[in-house]
Amino acid sequence: MPQAKLKQSLDTVLEYTTQRFGGAPGVVAMVTDRDGNIYEGAAGKRELGKDQPMTADSVFAIFSTTKAIAGTAMMQLVEEGKVRLEDAARKYVPEIAEVGVLTGFDANGQPQTRPPRRDITINDLMLHTAGFSYEFFSADDLRYRTAKNIPTIVSSTRAAFKSVLLFDPGERWSYGVNIDWLGMIVEQQRGKRLGEVMAERIFAQLGITDTAFTMTDSMKARRVTIHDRAADGKLTPLPDLALPQPPEFDSGGGGLYGTVGDYMKFIRMILNDGNGPNGRVLKAETVQRMCQDGLKPMGLSSGGWTTSIPSLSNSGDLFPGLDKGWAYTFQFNREPAPTGRPAGQVAWAGLANCYYWIDRQTGVGGYWATQILPFQDAASYPGYVDFESAVYRGLKA
């Protein structure tokens, strides 16, 4: 499909998503091939009820789409032989050994725990098989945190990640605070904050200038407001809702702010076997390893979630019924996705309805950014699926 026709098709998806009744307030979405962006689009407003239009350089809280970047910082350490994926995490962050497996709650509502049957490895953290969850995806985790007075994940504090294991390491897949522990290991090894490590070893090589845990004044001026969608569909802007600036702790699991244009540079690095415009970020064989299904050999799959905090996330699944694994650190679709994405590719998402995919087979990737809670929004998520589908239709044509 000619570029002009692809642009028209994708612009239509963005316009429909933002202009339809109950749609998303604003969207930025981009598509890249190995050479550069083949589509850049922005529609709607940065904040409902305000005049400021959404622009390509708008700044988003990218939440869990931070994880793949933290995973890259870890794989650089693996390449250098500083850590091994099989290593026990407590070798680097001893406090992880204090986390027990939840066995239940006593008559007074106090949690009961026992030591895990084996150590949590770095590999467990990469694959989300350590036993951790998030308080909004587990009623037990939420109850444990409440009983123990552990702060919420979005407080960006070290204390927030010292929760509880829901099962023994290696038993199951459960999405949770694993990558924050991974970030602590990177900091321990580099002797610097995670944001500094990313800036020096990833962002400089990729020409990324507008992504950080602590926003610059310029980024703050372009920040998109997070909106809340009530059960009746009504959207309310929450201009004061932002991650702590500066954060006490650089959350590798979800603390970055950034532009979609910057994330496209990261996606291109993965498409180009670890190469960036200003230098190599990873070896080709490392990128290949990062994009492999780590759960299949364990007989495990990744799947959906049940919300325990409906204001933060709906219950759901990305492509329900599709067989999915997990890679370092993205979801891996074992079967072709209904959008046209081939089997064996990777993708993931961020809490405020940001979504991306990286297709190394076809040589394309895309990112769809909105700022709405709860996760898997009724307008933004279908918009993303339509967007990815339109890209593959265009490529086929």
Q: Residue 89 carries which DSSP code?
A: G
Which residue in 39, 92, 134, 175 is the catalytic one?
175
Residue 18 phi, psi dihedral angles, 5° rounding: -90, -25
SS3 39: strand
Strands 226-229 and 372-373 come out as parallel
Beta bridge partners of 280: 275
Judge contact between 28 and 60, C-beta under 8 A. Answer: yes
Q: Tell me if residue 163 is catalytic.
A: no
Q: Which residues pair with 384 in a beta bridge?
A: none
Known active-site residue 67? yes
* Pairwise CA distance, residues 121 & 185, whole Å: 11
Q: Phi then psi for 370, rounded to 5 degrees?
A: -135, 175
Q: Which residues contact 119 (CB under 8 A, 6 or more apart)?
A: 88, 89, 90, 97, 169
Rounded CA gap, 48 and 248, in Å? 30
Pairing, β 26-32 against β 354-359: unpaired
Catalytic residue (one of 39, 45, 58, 67): 67
64 in active site: yes
Catalytic residue (choose from 9, 58, 64, 156): 64
Residues 6+ apart with CB under 8 A from 185: 74, 77, 83, 89, 92, 93, 122, 125
Q: For residues 366 and 391, is the Cβ–Cβ distance under 8 A? A: yes
Q: How far apart are CA 310 and CA 229, in angstroms?
A: 10
If residue 373 lies in a helix (H) or strand (E), which one and from where to where?
strand 372-373
Closest by Cα among 199, 240, 210, 64 to 137: 64
Q: Rounded to the nearest 5°, which phi and psi values hold at 42?
A: -145, 135
* DSSP-based three-state secondary structure for 324: strand
Catalytic residues: 64, 67, 175
